[in-house]
Structure 1
Amino acid sequence: MNEEIQFILDAAKESMEGAMSHLEKAFIKIRAGKASPVMLSGVMVDYYGSPTPLSQVSNVNTPDARTISVQPWEKSLLQEIETAITNANLGFNPMNNGEMIIINVPPLTEERRIQLVKQAKAEAEDAKVSIRSARQDANKELRALEVSEDRLKNSELDVQDLTDIFSKKVDDILHAKEGEIMKV
């Protein structure tokens, strides 16, 4: 019986860690002023009729803190890449110099910083919802087991402790990201 309870706790913890992993990936895409190749990670280029990630058809670099350069492996893709970046609606204005595409990352305005903080808070809330959902699922599975009332209560408390730990982690990561975004 203890093995089943431990299995349920481990599954809940794994699910909560998945929510944290997803949150960290989402936060990487929220820019905080510095240029990063990750900013273009969601851009898909029409490569001979099939949508392909930008990183698979070009070399994406950051020569300095405010510039992203995209060097396609085939010059014929310059126009496609430029169109894909524009259509991705990232707020960038790509410049094509015939060799590569250069993107100047504008400094964030106060208004844009506030929007990014709201976006970060929404992502954090989604992570917390996932964590609470994992708690709910674990508690449901625990109640389905034929265990004593005391063992059930103790197991539910363990699940709640896990939930509290992961919720605190989400709050800490959000606080750090807000500071990063609002820092001028």
Structure 2
Amino acid sequence: MTISDIRKQAEGKMNQSIAAFQNSLTRIRTGRANPALLDTIHVEYYGSHVPLSQVANVSLIDARTISVQPWEKGMGAKIEKAIRESDLGLNPASMGDLIRVPMPPMSEERRREMTKVVRHEGEQAKIAVRNLRRDANEAIKKLVKDKEATEDEQKRAEAEIQKVTDRHVGEIDTLVAAKEKEIMEV
């Protein structure tokens, strides 16, 4: 493995960490409705637990209401129960075949709690990126130790990896700030 391979691999893994962080941000509740909020909910379906998206169509009615349209007639009550028992604090209302999930407005205290959750998730993502930097630097040091690279190449590569790390950490900070702003909007 060459230094450029190590750098490319580290950068690819850092991009994956940011993608995972963005995915986790979509699940954090703001005052606005988002169909991805219900992605974590599992419903019992013929004896096994399956994601809600596999038994119903989840979409938005308006900015504060999510609609859930079950594909089978008997699933409405099970879906409603699963949403109600989730830790999201949502109270679905059934209207025939359609289940409406209104998003309750969040209190100021709840908004502050959610921003702390966002900051914590951001810090975890930064730790993941920094761990990838450490792994890449160790791999480069191993190349130098095995005499497959020079110390000058090592210094240059570590500086490049640091630039990539700084760029990814900055991107995480930007995502955290944007999500905090979205949460604090009334």
TM-score (norm 1): 0.94
Q: How does 1:62-77 map to 2 (within 5 A)?
A: 62-77=60-75
> How far does residue 159 in structure 1 lie from its aligned partner after superposition?
1.0
Q: What percentage of aligned pairs have identical amino acids?
A: 42
Q: How does 1:55-134 map to 2 (within 5 A)?
A: 55-134=53-132
Runs of 4+ in 1 over 6 A off after TM superposition: none
Equivalent residue, structure 2, for 1:153: 155
> How far does residue 129 in structure 1 lie from its aligned partner after superposition?
0.6
Give unpaired runs (5+ residues) of structure 1.
none
Q: How does 1:12-27 map to 2 (within 5 A)?
A: 12-27=10-25
Equivalent residue, structure 1, for 2:169: 167
**What per-residue deviation string (whole Å, max 9, x for no partner) do you get for residues 48-67 of structure 1?**
01111111111112111111
The SS at the match of 1:117 is helix
1:50 and 2:48 aligned: yes
In 1: Cα distance, 2:13 partner to 2:58 partner? 33
**What per-residue deviation string (whole Å, max 9, x for no partner) do you get for residues 76-135 of structure 1?**
111111111122211001122332221111111111111110111111111101100100
The correspondence for 2:142, drawn from 141, 144, 152, is 144
Structure 2 residue identity aligned to 1:151: E
Structure 2 residue identity aligned to 1:41: D
Structure 2 residue identity aligned to 1:120: V
TM-score (norm 2): 0.93
In 1: Cα distance, 2:81 partner to 2:130 partner? 41
> How far does residue 169 in structure 1 lie from its aligned partner after superposition?
0.8
In 2: Cα distance, 1:170 partner to 1:103 partner? 30
Equivalent residue, structure 2, for 1:179: 181
Equivalent residue, structure 1, for 2:5: 7
In 1: Cα distance, 2:44 partner to 2:160 partner? 49
In 2: Cα distance, 1:129 partner to 1:113 partner? 24
How many residue pairs end up in the alignment? 182
> How far does residue 158 in structure 1 lie from its aligned partner after superposition?
1.0
**What RMSD over aligned residues (CA atoms) do the two structures have, in Å?**
1.2
> How far does residue 68 in structure 1 lie from its aligned partner after superposition?
1.3
In 1: Cα distance, 2:21 partner to 2:65 partner? 26
Structure 2 residue identity aligned to 1:158: E
In 2: Cα distance, 1:35 partner to 1:52 partner? 22
Give unpaired runs (5+ residues) of structure 2.
none
